[in-house]
């Protein structure tokens, strides 16, 4: 019985130690998050993923308003501006990553796609020194 009480007590202590919130932030940080209408839990999730309130403003300015979109794209190799360029060219994250990993810009990738080329075809044609005809 004593062992169970110790285990429960340790679990409660660990839960308290790992809790996050406004108390874990400076007044200035809290104020910044609140000024952009981000909840305590969302602010903590953003911070846990290396994002600041300033970062979130940048993502929102580029048209990313859903927290999941911001988190998903920000974990990729793109910053907010680059992500917006890819998305504005009609690419989802997976496609943007695939094309960019093969050293295509969003504009180049869109040109190839508009001419009916898949990524593999575009790579093959580019290796021959060709470009999509405009």
Q: What is the pTM of this model?
A: 0.78
Distance CA 75, CA 64 (A): 14
Q: Give the pLDDT score at 109.
A: 97
Q: What is the mean pLDDT of residues 20-48?
A: 93
Q: Alpha-carbon Rg of the chain, whole angstroms?
A: 22
SS3 content of the chain, % helix, strand, coil (to 5): 70, 0, 30
Using DSSP's 3-state secondary structure scheme, residue 106 falls into helix
Q: What is the mean pLDDT of residues 27-54?
A: 96
Q: Which domain holds residue 104?
A: 2-127
Is position 43 within any domain? yes
Is position 46 within any domain? yes
Distance CA 12, CA 125 (A): 61
Is position 134 within any domain? no
The domain tally of the chain equals: 1
Looking at the predicted structure, is the pLDDT value of residue 8 above 70? no
Is position 10 within any domain? yes
Is position 132 within any domain? no
């Amino acid at each position: 019985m004593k062992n169970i009480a110790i285990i429960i007590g340790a679990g409660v202590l660990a839960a308290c130690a790992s809790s996050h919130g406004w108390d874990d932030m400076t007044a200035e940080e809290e104020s910044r998050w609140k000024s952009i209408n981000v909840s305590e839990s969302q602010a903590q999730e953003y911070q846990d993923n290396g994002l600041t309130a300033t970062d979130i403003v940048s993502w929102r300015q580029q048209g990313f308003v859903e927290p999941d979109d911001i988190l998903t794209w920000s974990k990729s190799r793109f910053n907010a501006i680059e992500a917006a360029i890819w998305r504005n060219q009609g690419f989802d994250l997976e496609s943007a990553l695939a094309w960019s990993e093969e050293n295509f810009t969003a504009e180049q990738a869109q040109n190839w796609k508009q001419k009916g080329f898949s990524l593999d075809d575009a790579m093959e044609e580019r290796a021959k020194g060709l470009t999509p005809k405009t």
